[in-house]
Amino acid sequence: MERTRAVSESFQKLYKQIPIPLVVLDTKGRIVCQNPLMDDWLDVREDSTTGPSSIYELIHPEEREMCKRILDEGLESISSPVSIETKWIGKGRVRFVRLYASFIEEQGEACMVMQLQDMTEQKQVQSLLYMKKMMLESIVKRESLCHILRILSTEIEQQLSRVTYCSILLLDESGTKIKTSIAPNLPSSFSESLLNIEIGPNVGSCGTAMYRKENVIVSDIAASPLGNDYGSRALELGLHACWSVPILIDEEVVGSFALYHREPSCPTELELETVEMCADLVGLAVERSRIEEQIVAEQERRFQALIDALPDLVVFKDQDGRWLNLNQATIQQFPVLGNIPYKGKSNEELTQIFPTQKELLEYCQMNDYRAWTTGEAARIEWSLANQAEEERTFDFMQVPLYGCSGIKDGILVIGRDITEKKKEALHLEESEQKYKSLFEHNPNGIYSMDARGRITSLNASMQEMLGLKQEDGLQSLVPFIAPDYVEQMQEHVLKALKGKAQTYETVAIHKEGHPVFLKVTNIPIIVQDEIVGVYGIAKDITGQKGKEEELRQTKELLESLFHHSADPILLLSLDSVVQDINEAAKNVFGWEIHEARGLFCPMVPEDRKEELQRVRESIQSGKEVVGLETIRRKKDGSFIDVSITFSPLKDGKGNIIGMAAIARDISERKKTEELLSRSEKLSAIGQLAASIAHEIRNPLTSIKGFIQFFRGNIQEQFVDLMLSELERIELIVTEFLLLAKPHATHFIEKNINSIIRHTLPIIEAQAIMNKVNIVASLMNPIPLIHCDENKIKQVLINVFQNAIEAMPNGGTIHVSTELQENKVLIQVTDDGYGISNERIKKLGEPFYSNKEKGTGLGLMVCFKIMEEHGGRMEFESKEGHGTTVRIFFPVGA
């Protein structure tokens, strides 16, 4: 021993600097010396007097003898270095190491130089990967969730180097309370104490991890604030640390995975990854279990819904003949089954509940045995009374059921109500007779053909339609179908042979050669679920076709009248919504068809809607409205006079569904009537004017003379007033004479600008007195016009005077000339109070004037002068915004 310790000082300095754990051992495995990195493995310093007496004390007992044997063999032969993988125990945990031992002899005594390589993390990773693979295989194999979780708990406890206790908690469906606790190596009392606890922010490490959805590492339970009550329970069991990880499925927490430790401790990075991996594995297993439960529940629900939808009685029994399940039809037949726990009862036990059905149950039990022994279905017919006390006949059939391994594991009992079937059998012959009668005496043509299209039967009506006789022996309809329709008929027959009924129209050729229009329905003939041919039902619609052709022609005629009528036609609903308009309506009113369709009749002005309402009321009562004269609005905002006739529109049942409005533009007629009326007025006024002027003029002269004579005897103000009024009477008489006497008109070519310039000085004095400024803007050069200069001046003076009088507070008159569409235009605009639209329409009528003392004859004379010159006057005005007068003269007229 002393010699072994006599290692050179240089060697001691060297091995202390080596960056790996290194120890020198004697032949007994006792520690001679170690470098500082070895201290952690030996849990002792080199100069310490305590520690393991031999290196073998730190090797796991299971592998201690194996390691000692290998090292002893090396010492005896001073062989080449050896490498051993084993488990190392120290500091209360197990680590995986690789020992590299070199054997040397020093002063005749053998010793070992051993270096250690920590393999714990590598081994753990390999073990964890293997465990993960094993768990995934279990999940794929659909092993039970409880079995998978128990295996996982046990495996993780074995894989980690520390002494750990695994706990897996699962939440209930609400995700708020602990439902399941799996901890194989923790006391059951501890696991059970966690059940039904509601998770929260301070409910232990596991409850908190689930509540927060995050890892909760409690390295020292005694010092943790997370639930003193739960911590005290763990401390009582000697558990001082808990690492909890939430189990999540699509961000939904379903539980927690936790590891408890005997000593306060924090996880290494690998240990934390291990716990999180286990939590993920549990999540996968839980998700797979949930999906399977949902699939099984959905399959059971669908299966139950399927058997409940069956009209037959259905009962499932186990291999011992005990009832497991039944459908709604069975409960309806035996209502008491819906109120008792029938599951698990045998036929014999059920006879006590249904003594009236004892005989049936005993027969069924015998048939159960027969089905079991023979492996084939056993049948029996039995009569039962339903809830309405009606006698019904059932065909009961017991069928043996086999499991996946081929072993019999139950009986299926099906009770089918065959009452109607028996009745059908009794009435089959009667039905055949009825069918034959229907076939032979049906007014429609009926035929049948096989799958190849060959005629197998043909009733008398069909023969008559085609002009055939029984002895003709018709084999196919093709020769009697118009050539253009043969392919169509064959296509429909093929579709009927595929199971889809067909209805179509075709044309047959009578034996005598004339066409016969037919409406045919082909129906597949199905015998024992197989289509074996086609029925054909043919109706002669030749007469109907003639009527349809007449209707078509009538429709085309009406459509032609509608679209090509010169008068606007509108089709309206009863709510006056436009359904359609013709081309004439589009041209007259300006709306395109697509613009007007769907609008409340846009041609009706706002003030005429009540009128339209009265029309609708008449139409709804079935009356027509003929020749209603009114006005309608065009798209550009202008108005026209129309005469409209409204007629009700009816559907095929005679119900009134709308109205047709036929309009006629009567604007020209209205203008003609207005001109005629004005001409008649002028004629009457002319005749009246001639007589009045003649009778009044002489007395007026006398009166004026006497007033002048007595001027000195009468107050001056009264004389002036009388003379002013007499002058006014003379003016009216003069205007009457202008209307009454036709004067010779002398037309010469004149420049309108020159006439305006000569007229303005005449009116300027009156304008200045009324604070009115006249601004002239005359086009130069401008074409000459043929006119009577004095009469044109008369027109201009009248217009200027009206403009001045329209501006009592002064203003500006703008007068301009221009050439517009080969006409010379004079435009006079004032800033006066304007004229309403209603009054503009009446301008030029005799005795109608806006002025307090006006007679209306001035404008009437102006209109007459312009008419003599082939021109016209137009007025545009807005109340409060002044008036514009446009005077048009033809060029060279």
Looking at residue 796, its amino acid is L
What pLDDT is recorded for position 130?
72
What pLDDT is recorded for position 244?
92
Q: Is the pLDDT of residue 199 over 80?
A: yes
**Token duo for residue 691:** 């007589």
Looking at per-residue confidence, does 441 or 720 come out higher?
441
pLDDT digits over 201-220, tens only? 888 888 889 999 999 999 88
Residue with tokens 């003939």: 525
What mean pLDDT comes out for the span 1-30?
Answer: 66
Q: What pTM does this model have?
A: 0.38
Closest CA to 377 of 395, 359, 356: 395
Q: What is the DSSP string of 229-275?
A: HHHHHHHHTT--EEEEEEEEETTEEEEEEEEEESS-----HHHHHHH
Among 120-124, 807-811, 863-867, the least confident range? 120-124
Q: Is the pLDDT of residue 791 over 60?
A: yes
d(CA 264, CA 261): 7
Closest CA to 199 of 171, 232, 218: 171
List 825's β-bridge partners, or say none. 818, 888
What pLDDT is recorded for position 686?
58
d(CA 294, CA 392): 40
What mean pLDDT comes out for the span 61-67?
Answer: 87
What mean pLDDT comes out for the span 57-77?
Answer: 84
Average pLDDT value for the chain: 81
* Side-chain-side CA neighbours of residue 814 (13 Å): 11
pLDDT digits over 381-412, tens only? 888 777 667 788 888 888 888 876 677 778 88
Peptide bond into 781 cis (omega under 30): yes
Number of H helices, E strands in the chain: 26, 32
Task: State the pairing for strand pair 748-750/502-509.
Answer: unpaired
Looking at residue 211, its amino acid is Y
Residues composing the chain: 893
What mean pLDDT comes out for the span 629-633?
Answer: 86
Among 149-158, 251-260, 339-348, 737-746, the least confident range? 737-746
Question: In the chain, what is the greatest distance between 2 CA atoms, to the nearest angstrom?
Answer: 186
3-state helix, strand, coil in the chain (%, to 5): 45, 30, 25
Q: What is the DSSP string of 581-621?
A: E-HHHHHHH---HHHHTTSB-TTS-GGGHHHHHHHHHHHHT
What mean pLDDT comes out for the span 306-317?
Answer: 85
Confidence band for 8, pLDDT divided at 50, 70 and 90: very low
d(CA 183, CA 257): 10
Closest CA to 352 of 363, 338, 362: 362
**Token duo for residue 825:** 């235009």
Is residue 26 within 8 Å of residue 4, measured between CB atoms? yes
**Token duo for residue 870:** 């082939």
What mean pLDDT comes out for the span 504-514?
Answer: 87
Q: Is the pLDDT of residue 742 over 60?
A: no
Buried b / exposed e over 312-328, threshold 16 CB at 10 Å, is bbbbbbeeebbbeebbb
What pLDDT is recorded for position 830?
93
Is residue 411 within 8 Å of residue 368, measured between CB atoms? yes
Is residue 450 within 8 Å of residue 532, measured between CB atoms? yes
d(CA 838, CA 830): 19
Name the percent of the chain lying above pLDDT 90: 8
Show Cβ contacts of residue 470 under 8 Å, excluding neighbours closer than 6 positions: 463
Is residue 818 within 8 Å of residue 827, measured between CB atoms? yes
Show Cβ contacts of residue 321 under 8 Å, excluding neighbours closer than 6 positions: 346, 347, 365, 368, 411
Show Cβ contacts of residue 85 under 8 Å, excluding neighbours closer than 6 positions: 96, 97, 98, 99, 119
pLDDT digits over 475-498, tens only? 888 888 889 888 898 899 899 889
